[in-house]
Amino acid sequence: MESVKALLAHTSRDWTRVKTGESGDLVYRREDGLAYAKIASSARSVDLAGERNRLLWLQGRGIATPEVIDWREVEEGACLVTTAIPGVPAADLDRDALLKAWPSMARQLKSLHDLSSDQCPFDRSLSLMFAKASDVVSRDAVNPDFLPPEDRGRSARELLDRVERDLPLRLAQEVVDGVLCHGDACMPNFMVDPHSLQCAGLIDLGRVGKADRYVDLSLMIANAEESWATSEQGQRAFSILFETLEIEQPDRERLAFYLRLDPLTWG
């Protein structure tokens, strides 16, 4: 991907590699800290273009998200340059700080869910994601690191069959509870002001689309549970999230279903 990286040279700025995402994309930060570049291989260019299109669609809709600065594509791949959302990822906060930031993170998610999904041209539906999971499993491409410990000894086919058994019920629920979802609402994708502990915005929006709201809720709860020091803190955060989203009776089985599906869709 050297020729793709060369696309950054036209900016006359220095860039520092900061991470490799779960998708395999390379991420760079500009020297002034005000912009990021994401570089994808040719196999991932369509997905990166999808993230660009989602960011462009979200602009002006009241959600704090990165703005597209530049897009360049060559035969070997593509490069997306966006503005930076100030702050630190929620994943970097300690347990107490995360709990203080949690209400504003829940409100940020609610603002996204409250946007009219009927106007959204992007699909994140269960039928689409199950088809993606089926493809990942058929290629034997499930990343075992994404699976919970209790599932790592099971075959990918067995895990997919378990999801498929619940599919009719979850498809029916999606019709009722379909909203505009982030699609990957985990702690690294919520940016938080470290001083005010208020959510500053959302990043990594390549999976935005209409889906069951529990797609986001399941990941948000599961990721944060790893940081809560006590069951009391965890229960408090659980209550705050569902009260903010005005869900009176959380469906724990539906949360578990989407947590079982998500690891099968990466690969």
Mean pLDDT of the chain: 92
Quote the pTM value. 0.94
**Environment class of 83 (CB within 10 Å of its CB; exposed 0-12, middle 13-18, buried 19+):** middle
Q: Which fold has domain 2-83?
A: Phosphorylase Kinase; domain 1 (3.30.200)
Q: What is the pLDDT of residue 230?
A: 74
CA–CA gap between residue 29 and residue 91 (Å, rounded): 18
Tell me what the mean pLDDT of segment 251-262 comes to. 97
Count of residues making up the chain:
267
| Predicted confidence (pLDDT) at residue 196 exceeds the cutoff of 70 | yes
CA–CA gap between residue 220 and residue 157 (Å, rounded): 26
Tell me what the mean pLDDT of segment 135-164 comes to. 95
Determine which of 2-11, 29-38, 44-53, 248-257 has the lowest per-residue pLDDT on average.
Answer: 2-11
Rounded to whole angstroms, the maximal C-alpha distance in the chain is: 54
CA–CA gap between residue 67 and residue 150 (Å, rounded): 40
Domain limits, the chain: 2-83, 88-265
pLDDT in tens, 103-143: 999 999 999 999 987 789 999 999 999 999 999 999 999 99
Question: Of 51, 72, 54, 53, whose CA–CA distance to 63 is shortest?
Answer: 54
Token pair in block for residue 260: 């079982």
Q: Is 204 a catalytic residue?
A: no
- What's the CATH number of domain 88-265, 3.40.50.20, 3.40.50.11540, 3.90.1200.10, 3.40.50.720? 3.90.1200.10
| Predicted confidence (pLDDT) at residue 8 exceeds the cutoff of 80 | no
Tell me what the mean pLDDT of segment 149-153 comes to. 92
| Predicted confidence (pLDDT) at residue 262 exceeds the cutoff of 60 | yes
Distance of CA 123 to CAs 76, 144, 191, Å? 27, 26, 24
Element (H, E) at 220: helix 214-225
CA–CA gap between residue 229 and residue 77 (Å, rounded): 42
pLDDT in tens, 30-70: 999 999 999 999 989 999 999 999 999 999 999 999 999 99
Q: One of 184, 204, 212, 216 is an active-site residue; which one? A: 184
